Structure 1
Amino acid sequence: MTSTFQWALIGPGAIAHVFAEAVSQLDHCRLHTVCGRDAQRAAQFAQRWSVEGDTPVRATTDLASLLADPQIDGVYIATPHGQHFEPALAALKAGKAVLCEKSLVPTRAMAQQLVAAAQEQRVFLMEAVWTRFLPVYEEMARWLAEGRIGRLRALQSSFCFPAPYDPDSRLFSPALAGGALLDVGVYNLNATRFVLRHALGEVPPLQGLAVQGLLAPTGVDARVSASLDFGDGLVAQMVCGLDTFAPNTLHVMGEGGAIVLPETFWQATRAQCLRPGQDAVTVDLPFNTNGFEYQIADAMARIRAGEIESPVMPHAETLAVLGWIDEIRRQLGARLPFDAL
């Protein structure tokens, strides 16, 4: 690898600009190439993120040429999650490290194929669940490990927003892997697993799963409420939806206190530790740039070290979350992405 890490980006949409901004503010890395189906849109994106005095960002519609370029060290996939599988698999087979937006793919079975390819090729693969890398989550992990709230007893999280119904949109179309779980519920489930692992040292096996919800006319999940039972009275409750407004908070409750991430918990910069009879402890940890920089830095460090996954967001966690999503959809009777697992 060169001393400057060279990123290629597939899918020059809104989320890709967040990635490009973070890359532009990190040391020893740059955006090398952007690939999109629309040549003009790719060229506009490349021009926007080219830096004066540096080699211009290259624009292409040819994925094969991108993957054959020896200068590219890693590929970030920013297309809608229903379109992740093919470019991710092609990149892994070409020996290119992959950082892929959440949800990695629509089903656990598809994710297993990508993980198998990464392991066979000995190439880095990570689902870009940026939440797990944020400074506030590091602080919460420390509080949990120190036993600040005592024995963990319950979790509650919400991630809902009202979206106009459009059967052809990525949110509601089965052909585009629509549904609340893959779009936003993935954050609820990742936060649940993050808390369990740091509070208990592991994620206990599910003892029970109760699911309620509402299907959109297209058959995908428009709203999901789930209660995950981990035994001994430990329960995680979550709601995600495309038809509802919610405070979108995370509450972690223990026998001796609670941790609250107020509002938009998946991009939190504030956490509160509450304990009976004591003043609340509040930490504010703003992002250096926009929050994506932490997962990008971690991915680059792992890739440079020759690792194929990150301990912060390992393959097993991606598979576990998608396994939960598969089962929740099954119980709800939701239409499966592409009509198959």
Structure 2
Amino acid sequence: MGEATIKWGILAAGGIAGSFAGDLAHASNGEAYAIGSRNLEKAKAFAEKFGIPKAYGSYEELVADPEVDAVYVATPHPYHKENVLMALRAGKAVLCEKPFTVNAAELEELVAYAREHKLFLMEAMWTRFLPVIRRVREWLAAGRIGEVRMVKADFGFRAGWDPAGRLLNPELGGGALLDAGIYPVSFASMVLGPHPQTIQSTAHIGETGVDEHFSVLLTYENGAVASLNGAVRLAIGNDAYIHGTNGKIYIPGFLNATTATLYVEGEEPETVTDDRTFRGYAYEAEAVGQALNAGLTENSDISLDESLAILRLMDQIRGQWGLKYPFE
């Protein structure tokens, strides 16, 4: 007997929701079944574009649909806590966009509820599930580059000046760390773990009062270091490097990786490529489906404990800059 097909409900009809909905056509065990928006006309247009059977003019109606197995939360991160909680209270499995919440205190509440009610909950760190990143993890697990001593990961882009938009507006949890920085911070956690011994950081706080770009240096108990940079008003390289005592791994455009190269001393370079024709969100959707079909409430590739540790780390980094949001 094959896997049951997971009927997905998509909560919010913005850009990333569209990317996820489009990718579900490539998932082996899931389908886009319903879309919920605060605007019914917008929901209907979204449903028509992606061939989704059900369209709702509220999030409440979406999570109340008994046919929906899992809800993908795609709202801006200040709304994640209330939206995830709504879906969990309706008994749904939840995949929530990153960052999971604005701070660790919010996530602690969600994790406690999900665990108490034995409901599936996962952060949508889609990078972890890409075939290229899975191969990178295999190389690391096999010790191909020796002991990992250094990680460097950057993600940044130059967004237009829009003080009211979500990237720069403190009322919407704006700033580089939460929007772009979650990628390099999570990547370092994947390689070196989420518990550095020391944290050093600096940021440029712009006119709106949020971080426009930042740099973080993490050191670990074993002597390893991670150098991480992020930006929303500065186009920087989006690559990652992992250096070990016997070689290195280079991942260009690591967050949506389609290739990575392994360099081992004394050996020819080894390159892995992924020629997928879709964005890559299908892989995380499949992972949720596999977990649900196996009766699991978490995914070991990005556990709730790790997501919590990452947010606690980001809280500490933000604390070093004195950056607190109006709603905190």
Pick the aligned partner of 2:265 from 276, 279, 292. 276
Q: What is the 5 A alignment of 1:220-239?
A: 220-239=210-229
Q: How many residues align?
A: 326
Q: Which runs of 5+ in 1 are unaligned?
A: 51-55, 197-202
- How far apart in 2 are the matches of 1:338 and 1:94? 29
Of 177-186 and 30-39, the range deviating more from structure 2: 30-39
Partner residue in 2 for 1:107: 103
Q: Aligned-pair distance for 1:339?
A: 4.1
- Mapped pair 1:49 → 2:50: yes
Given that 2:291 and 2:298 are in contact with CA atoms closer than 8 Å, whether structure 1 keeps it comes out as yes
- After superposition, what is the alpha-carbon deviation per residue over 1:128-181, rounded to whole angstroms, capped at 9, x for unaligned? 000001111111111111111111111111111111222211001111111111
Letter in 1 for 2:325: P
Partner residue in 1 for 2:21: 20
- Mapped pair 1:208 → 2:202: no
CA RMSD of aligned residues (A): 1.6
Partner residue in 2 for 1:173: 169
Partner residue in 2 for 1:295: 284
Q: Aligned-pair distance for 1:218?
A: 1.9
Letter in 1 for 2:28: D
Q: What is the 5 A alignment of 1:123-272?
A: 123-196=119-192, 203=193, 205-262=195-252, 264-272=253-261
- How far apart in 1 are the matches of 2:162 and 2:206? 10
- How far apart in 2 are the matches of 1:152 and 1:215? 33
Q: Aligned-pair distance for 1:26?
A: 2.5
- After superposition, what is the alpha-carbon deviation per residue over 1:245-283, rounded to whole angstroms, capped at 9, x for unaligned? 212110100111000002x21111111111334332111
Pick the aligned partner of 2:298 from 305, 309, 315. 309
- How far apart in 1 are the matches of 2:299 and 2:143? 25
- How far apart in 1 are the matches of 2:31 and 2:92? 16
- Mapped pair 1:35 → 2:36: yes
- After superposition, what is the alpha-carbon deviation per residue over 1:287-308, rounded to whole angstroms, capped at 9, x for unaligned? 3632111110110111222221
Given that 2:77 and 2:99 are in contact with CA atoms closer than 8 Å, whether structure 1 keeps it comes out as yes
- How far apart in 1 are the matches of 2:237 and 2:169? 26
DSSP 3-state at the match of 1:132: helix
Q: Aligned-pair distance for 1:206?
A: 2.0
- How far apart in 1 are the matches of 2:275 and 2:109? 37
Pick the aligned partner of 2:112 from 116, 126, 147. 116
The percentage of counterpart residues that share the same residue type is 37
Letter in 1 for 2:144: R
With the length of structure 1 as denominator, give the TM-score of the two structures: 0.92
With the length of structure 2 as denominator, give the TM-score of the two structures: 0.95
Q: Which runs of 5+ in 2 are unaligned?
A: none
Partner residue in 2 for 1:62: 58
Letter in 2 for 1:316: D
Q: Aligned-pair distance for 1:65?
A: 2.3
DSSP 3-state at the match of 2:300: coil
Q: Aligned-pair distance for 1:35?
A: 0.6
- Mapped pair 1:4 → 2:35: no
